[in-house]
Amino acid sequence: MAKQKNIFMCSSCGNDFPKWSGQCPACKEWNSVSQVSGSYLKPLTGSKNSLRIKVKPQTPKKTLQSAQTSYQTTSISEIDRVLGQGLTPGGVYLLTGQPGIGKSTLLTQLAIKISQTISNQVLYVCSEENSTQVATRINRFTKKDTNNLNLLNTSNVESILDQNALSRYNLVIIDSIQSIQTDLNPTSPGSPSQIKDSANLIIRMAKETQTPVILIGHVTKSGSIAGPKLLEHMVDSVLELSGDRQHNLRLLRSVKNRFGPTDETGIFQMTGKGLEEVKDPSKFMLEGRVENAPGSSLCLIMEGTRPLTVEIQALVVPSNLAIPRRVAKGININRLQLICAVLTKHLKLPLGNKDVFVNVTAGYNLTEPGADLGIALAIISSSKNKPLPNNAIAFGELGLLGEIRSVNFQDKRIKEAKTLGYKITISPENTKHLKQIDLSSRT
Ligand code: TYD
Ligand code: MG
């Protein structure tokens, strides 16, 4: 009798070995290697779930012709903007974000929109939440007929792929990739090898049946996508929903996109009725702004290819600590320290014995260097207890020598400032150094 081959697999990285060891030789994780049944690693080809569709080679021209006509708009313009032109047949998308940020909410709304507006068949796989919970949410969002929307309560990949399921639907949503499991892999849901194998099966089916699939993906504590890095390579697009849970603003960005640009951002606000598109982001960002207040500055930043006005607030107060505090919300603390140092050196601003607090309103996270000048102006304004002109807006990067450096999309920003009615634009075009800034003109 042929001796059965033993396979030992690491539940952390998914590598397999001929013998057991206490520490995985590949990922160095302890106590993660265990024996798996011999059926694991059987070839995927020829499995009963395979839906072989005859494919023919095509010329690039023909391929393009068929591709251009087949983009499927989602009827949510902020999502279309991020995707490029809409969903692509056979495209596999990964939507990630912090827990509770609104991933399931956004995709439930997308499922409703596509099933109602375009009358397309949508399959929503509920492996994380119970299908009743999802149905309750759908009921809250719409009172109209939802016959084209199908909820599947399973966490088994084979059940999802069963009965030619994918080929019957125009969109499949899987909530989430970390909670599904294939019979081919004995590790628990969420393990890197399980995610890899499950995603592999789903992606293959999506390509064979030309059905767009959106997978929801968790993120780790550090903010990276949970599971193997390979997952990001396997899917066609990686979308990220971000925001501050204490605020309503939600931003949808594409981190990777094989079908369109990666520099577009969809802007939403979380409401009692789910996520709503924000049509006028600058107005939304400035809601409730106190005018003529020292320590407040307006800054024109780029969110993708869209200019956006944000308010930066600073508070400079005497400190009773040996090392004064620098507290930043919405900007990097090192950036704040650097800007404080530049202001002390080049404008002789006495910040050495002051606490400096900076906050970006609406829970927005500013990473763009073009916001430096806005941050500097807010600090100057609070330090001198002098409000900035009401009709002034700023953008520009601050150099260590106190110079104001150019940033990208300058013309677009200046045009936007004019459109929004700002009379004074402090920018690298008209101000080359911090020393040239004159805040006395109040109108
Ligand atoms: P959810 O989509 O479940 O988050 P995720 O799938 O990313 O973990 O969203 C959960 C949060 O969204 C929850 O804290 C409540 C809030 N929310 C609203 O504010 N309005 C709504 O209409 C819905 C459905 C959720
Ligand atoms: Mg969810």
Could you list the pLDDT tens digit for every one of the 443 residues in the chain? 455 567 888 877 777 888 899 998 988 888 888 887 655 555 455 445 455 556 678 888 887 776 665 778 898 999 999 998 889 888 999 999 999 999 999 999 999 999 998 778 899 999 999 999 999 999 999 999 899 999 999 999 999 987 566 678 889 999 999 999 999 888 888 888 889 899 999 999 888 888 899 999 998 887 788 877 888 999 999 999 999 888 899 999 999 998 888 888 999 999 999 999 998 888 888 888 888 899 999 999 998 888 999 999 999 999 999 999 999 999 999 999 999 999 999 999 999 999 999 999 988 999 999 999 999 999 999 999 999 998 999 999 999 999 999 999 999 999 999 998 999 999 999 999 999 987 665 44
User: SS3 for 205?
Assistant: helix
Of all protein residues, whose CA lies closest to atom 23 belonging to ligand 1? 274
φ/ψ (deg, to 5) at 47: -65, 155
* pTM given for the model: 0.83
Handedness of CA 389, 392, 397, 401 (dihedral sign): negative
pLDDT score at 164:
62
Q: Provide, for the chain, the percentages of residues in helix, strand and coil under a 3-state DSSP scheme, each rounded to the nearest 5.
A: 30, 25, 45
Closest atom, ligand 1, to C-alpha of 141: 22
Give CATH 3.40.50.300 domain extents, the chain. 72-279
**Which residue ranges does the chain devote to CATH 3.30.230.10?**
283-442
Find out whether the peptide bond into 176 is cis, omega within 30 degrees of 0. Answer: yes
3-state secondary structure string, 38-95?
Answer: CCCCCCCCCCCCCCCCCCCCCCHHHHHHHHHHCCECCCCHHHHHHHCCCECCCCEEEE
For the chain, how far is it from start to end, CA to CA, in angstroms?
94
Beta bridge partners of 173: 124, 214
State the pLDDT at residue 185: 84
Ligand 1: atom nearest CA of 129 is 3
Of ligand 1's atoms, which has the minimum distance to the CA of residue 216?
Answer: 6
Three-state SS at 238: strand
Give the strand pairing for 326-329 and 404-405. unpaired
CATH 3.30.70.141 fits 283-442, yes or no: no
Protein residue with its CA nearest to atom 12 in ligand 1: 102
Q: Is 245 in the pocket of ligand 1 (CB under 6 A)?
A: no
| Cα 280 to Cα 434: distance, rounded to the nearest angstrom | 31
- C-beta 246 within 6 A of ligand 1: no
Atom of ligand 1 nearest to the CA of 270: 19
Instruction: Give the model's pLDDT for residue 38.
Output: 54
> Quick one: which ligand is closest to 130's CA?
2
Say which CATH topology domain 72-279 has.
Answer: Rossmann fold (3.40.50)
* CB of residue 57 inside a 6 A radius of ligand 1: no
Task: Extract the runs of DSSP E, i.e. beta strands, from 258-405.
Answer: 265-271, 274-277, 296-303, 306-318, 326-329, 354-360, 392-394, 397-398, 404-405
Residue 56: the pLDDT is 76
Residue 288 Cβ < 6 Å to ligand 1: no
Q: What is the DSSP secondary structure assignment for residue 284, as one 8-state letter? A: H
